[in-house]
Structure 1
Amino acid sequence: MSVSIFDSFLTSSDMIAVFDDAAIVQAMLRFEQALAQAQADVGLLPQATANTIAQACDVQRYDVGALVVASRRAGSLAIPLVKELTKSVANIDAEAARKVHFGGTSQDVIDTAMVLATREALQLLDDGLHDLTGRLLELAEQHAATPVLARTLMQPALITTLGFKFAGWLAPLVRARARLREHAARALQLQLGGAVGTLSVIGEQGPTVVERMAAILGLRAPDAAWHTQRDEWVRLGLEVAVLSGSLGKIAADLSLMAQGEIAELAEPSGEGRGGSSAMAHKRNPVSSMIALAAATRTPQHAAALLAAMGQQHERGLGNWQAELAEWPSLFLSAHGALYALNEALAGLHIDSARMLRNIGEFKDLIYPGDAQDAAALARPAQRLAEQQLRQLRADITKLSTPS
């Protein structure tokens, strides 16, 4: 997958690599290799044939750019790839070439390749969430009692604590990490149904081949082909979209609190971060900017997934292809936002003295005639923060414990 310079600005090199053209083609070749091996395991073809096919399943043998161009005429990337794979196998063993892609169809290859890539993408998100939730928990516990002005409808409201605010940022991320895992457990499944989902070419051995192939690839064996049953897959994509929204909320709050007139928080500076080409005094919140941009783009991608669900009969025309094109963008945006916010929070500057001054400017309006200090007024929020953070720490520990 090639991305524009403006796309790459809003994501990470690691996530770009996951959905790179060569990476997807290699995943498709892994499908072909696993299909042949599974069929050899159940006696449908000789092991020597599976070995020959496996020998040709190396993306370095193929011109990926030419395959992409050919796919525009063929209607599927799988068609030119299988053609070239068959030629490559034939150069080694003409008889083995007759068994390439036996019983599979184009959508089987591409869907499974996208599942394999998505598994890697989800691991990147999980790693990023591990770091971000850990840092937010640390900051929230440190500042459970730090008074700060709460704001509603963009206006000064009552006194809360920074720890309570951070807990509000943290909780949706902890839930997102858990739910992504839950949905992945169902959605990361093999696609193998053949031309119309019935495994008719493979015959009675079809279900056994599915089980074996899923085991080889480390995927869940599906109850049936899901060529046009996209519900579990789309739910996973929508969870990624919700994560981007939660990251956007953090970025919005952080950027507002970093405004020069407020100055309660600030992203790290130095080493070329957040400078201005025209105004040397500026300290731009670039991490927040990236996360906000990612969150702004996400609804369109999520809506496209939902719009593509009405796929015709046993194989869709146009809508499946639209889904494929939209899918990587969700992960590119989410990981870009995660990466940026991890950078911001790693060196976040917190000005508690400025928070007290900001409270002081409005204290007489908020609590007229009340002589209590800010710390006393913040104690209800502190108690709630401490209670919530105990549960969040337990949830994070559970997510970080190997199952």
Structure 2
Amino acid sequence: MVKNFLTEPVFCDTEIEALFDSVTLARAMLRVEGALARAQADMGMFPLETAQAITQTAETLTIAPEVLAAGVTKNGVPVPTLVKDLRAAVGDPHADWVHWGATSQDIIDNALSLCYRAALKVLGARLRDLLETLERQSTAHSKTIMAARTRNQLATPTTFGLRIAQWAQPLIACETEFEQVRTRALRVQFGGASGNQTAVAPHGPDISDRLANELQLTPGIPWHTDRSGLQGLAAWLVAVTTALGKIATDVAILSRSEIAEAFGGTEGGSSTMPHKSNPVTAEALLSLARFAIACNLGLASAGIHTEERDGANWTVEWKLLPELLVTCGSALSLCLTLTKNLSANRETMVHRIENAPEMMAETAMFALSKRQGRQRASKIVAEAISQSEPLSVALRKLEPSIDWAGVFDFGKVIASSRRLQRDIFSHRNT
């Protein structure tokens, strides 16, 4: 991504970006070469001292990023250049065994998997922190009555605590799926030139299993053209980021001047309007959610790899999947800021319900229907709403036998909402 003062505050995440920089990626590739040598020595393909020499050299060798970049310019991949320099550094008699039976994609896919794993560790911790914050805020606002909205219109009373719990609901599902997505995405890659392990036959599967153990990746068969594991990871990242976008959308609406029911994150000023207090944190989250969707569209189109190996679509993946991880990381950090600073204007929330009697129409309907039947109840409620006096007063005149104060008691809303809150978070705590 192009970086400047416009984009960095929103779209960048230095902690995750560092996991994909040139030095880190080169170290990961060299680590894979060392692990491959140890796996093959463990199979008895060459002496242990050869694997030790390759590993020790790989651990200490430094290859300048510009050298590897020149290799990509020449060969489309950096691995031939990296292997050439590693062999030269290892020297005789061990150099010939460097990169034995492997291909460039084996090294790059495994190295990127190590980087993805490190990034997912960060994202998993941030998601956990965010869910804990949401649960605390949900509990703190379990008795905060507010107007629910459906299809952008006032609906019935609910609680802010339940709204917050509903924000957490898709994120809890993502947390539950995290390990499965991670396991499937971070698979060992060892197929050789055409993905059939011919150069090391019949030992390919055993080498692959040992390499998986060395790198702590999921064992399995070569997946050069099967990008479904990474596609699943991308879909998970988008699911998280769009769930955060939902939170941002609600907060941005609730903080509108004419609503002013809840606020969160950083509020920004205007260059020309002193009265403005813009929901900049929520806006940034929405930008990130939309950018994540754009990245995923690119990844989806790049998922169609041709024949046994593909160069063009694979290259797109190098750019977009790390970008999507960075985007999700930035969104989680911003959402944590927003939710930690979340506040509610309780008086405004209750006042809005009190000044919109139609919001209690459903409650009144069900109370009346038990005595009058649904059609008659509908007419009575419609007549009461048309009156200039408060709804409870009008209903008391039309049907004095019902305890309307009890019917309109918010305690029922709070009790029902709290039960659902607990149910939502119980899926995380079990």
CA distance in 1 between counterparts of 2:232 and 2:182 reads 9
Instruction: Using the TM superposition, give the Cα deviation of residue 110 of structure 1 relative to its aligned residue in structure 2, in angstroms.
Output: 0.8
More displaced stretch, 168-177 vs 306-315: 306-315
Determine if contact 2:146/2:159 at 8 Å carries over to the other structure: yes
Sort the Cα spacing of 1:389 and 1:151 in 2 relative to 1 into closer, same or farther, 3 A.
closer
Determine if contact 1:263/1:354 at 8 Å carries over to the other structure: yes
Who is 1:299 aligned against?
293
Who is 1:396 aligned against?
428
CA distance in 2 between counterparts of 1:12 and 1:375 reads 51
Instruction: Using the TM superposition, give the Cα deviation of residue 83 of structure 1 relative to its aligned residue in structure 2, in angstroms.
Output: 2.1
1:253 paired residue among 245, 250, 253:
250
Instruction: Using the TM superposition, give the Cα deviation of residue 373 of structure 1 relative to its aligned residue in structure 2, in angstroms.
Output: 7.3
The answer to whether residue 36 in structure 2 is matched with residue 35 in structure 1 is yes
Who is 1:401 aligned against?
none
Sort the Cα spacing of 1:374 and 1:150 in 2 relative to 1 into closer, same or farther, 3 A.
farther
2:116 paired residue among 90, 115, 118:
118
CA distance in 2 between counterparts of 1:354 and 1:87 reads 73
1:188 paired residue among 181, 186, 189:
186
Flag structure 2 segments of 5+ consecutive residues without an equivalent.
Answer: 362-384, 393-403
More displaced stretch, 358-367 vs 293-302: 358-367
SS in 2 for 1:160: strand
Who is 1:68 aligned against?
69
More displaced stretch, 240-249 vs 151-160: 151-160
More displaced stretch, 335-344 vs 42-51: 42-51
Determine if contact 2:159/2:413 at 8 Å carries over to the other structure: yes
Who is 1:4 aligned against?
3
The answer to whether residue 295 in structure 2 is matched with residue 324 in structure 1 is no
2:172 paired residue among 168, 171, 174:
174
CA distance in 2 between counterparts of 1:347 and 1:304 reads 34
Equivalent residues in 2 for 1:2-401, closer than 5 Å: 4-5=3-4, 6-9=6-9, 10-58=11-59, 61-89=62-90, 93-222=91-220, 224-268=221-265, 274-363=268-357, 367=361, 368=385, 370-371=391-392, 376=408, 378-379=410-411, 381-398=413-430
CA distance in 2 between counterparts of 1:365 and 1:204 reads 72
CA distance in 1 between counterparts of 2:45 and 2:407 reads 74
Q: Which structure has the larger Rg?
A: 2
CA-to-aligned-CA distance 1:78-114 (integer Å, 9 cap, x gap)? 222222222222xxx3221111111111111111111
CA distance in 1 between counterparts of 2:179 and 2:294 reads 23
SS in 2 for 1:81: helix
SS in 2 for 1:261: coil
Q: Amino acid of the residue matched to residue 345 of structure 1?
A: T
CA distance in 2 between counterparts of 1:135 and 1:260 reads 26
Q: Amino acid of the residue matched to residue 165 of structure 1?
A: R
Who is 2:381 aligned against?
none
Instruction: Using the TM superposition, give the Cα deviation of residue 383 of structure 1 relative to its aligned residue in structure 2, in angstroms.
Output: 3.5
Determine if contact 2:29/2:107 at 8 Å carries over to the other structure: yes
Determine if contact 2:29/2:111 at 8 Å carries over to the other structure: yes
Flag structure 1 segments of 5+ consecutive residues without an equivalent.
Answer: 399-403
More displaced stretch, 304-313 vs 274-283: 274-283
Sort the Cα spacing of 1:98 and 1:384 in 2 relative to 1 into closer, same or farther, 3 A.
farther
Q: Amino acid of the residue matched to residue 250 of structure 1?
A: I
More displaced stretch, 342-351 vs 352-361: 352-361
Instruction: Using the TM superposition, give the Cα deviation of residue 264 of structure 1 relative to its aligned residue in structure 2, in angstroms.
Output: 1.4
SS in 2 for 1:148: strand
Determine if contact 1:173/1:243 at 8 Å carries over to the other structure: yes
Sort the Cα spacing of 1:34 and 1:375 in 2 relative to 1 into closer, same or farther, 3 A.
farther
Q: Amino acid of the residue matched to residue 255 of structure 1?
A: A
More displaced stretch, 379-388 vs 307-316: 379-388
Instruction: Using the TM superposition, give the Cα deviation of residue 332 of structure 1 relative to its aligned residue in structure 2, in angstroms.
Output: 1.1
CA distance in 1 between counterparts of 2:254 and 2:87 reads 60
CA distance in 2 between counterparts of 1:137 and 1:333 reads 24
Determine if contact 1:159/1:377 at 8 Å carries over to the other structure: no
Determine if contact 1:164/1:382 at 8 Å carries over to the other structure: no
Aligned length: 390
Instruction: Using the TM superposition, give the Cα deviation of residue 206 of structure 1 relative to its aligned residue in structure 2, in angstroms.
Output: 1.7
CA distance in 2 between counterparts of 1:248 and 1:390 reads 23
CA distance in 1 between counterparts of 2:315 and 2:405 reads 61
Instruction: Using the TM superposition, give the Cα deviation of residue 284 of structure 1 relative to its aligned residue in structure 2, in angstroms.
Output: 2.8
- What's the TM-score once normalised by structure 1's chain length? 0.90
CA distance in 2 between counterparts of 1:69 and 1:235 reads 32
Determine if contact 2:156/2:359 at 8 Å carries over to the other structure: no
CA distance in 1 between counterparts of 2:24 and 2:270 reads 37
CA-to-aligned-CA distance 1:37-57 (integer Å, 9 cap, x gap)? 111112112222112212222
- What's the TM-score once normalised by structure 2's chain length? 0.84
CA distance in 2 between counterparts of 1:378 and 1:68 reads 65
Where relative contact order (Cα < 8 A, 6+ residues apart) is larger, the structure is 1
Determine if contact 1:268/1:349 at 8 Å carries over to the other structure: no
SS in 2 for 1:113: helix
CA distance in 2 between counterparts of 1:268 and 1:393 reads 23
Sort the Cα spacing of 1:187 and 1:384 in 2 relative to 1 into closer, same or farther, 3 A.
farther
Determine if contact 2:155/2:359 at 8 Å carries over to the other structure: no
Sort the Cα spacing of 1:386 and 1:314 in 2 relative to 1 into closer, same or farther, 3 A.
same
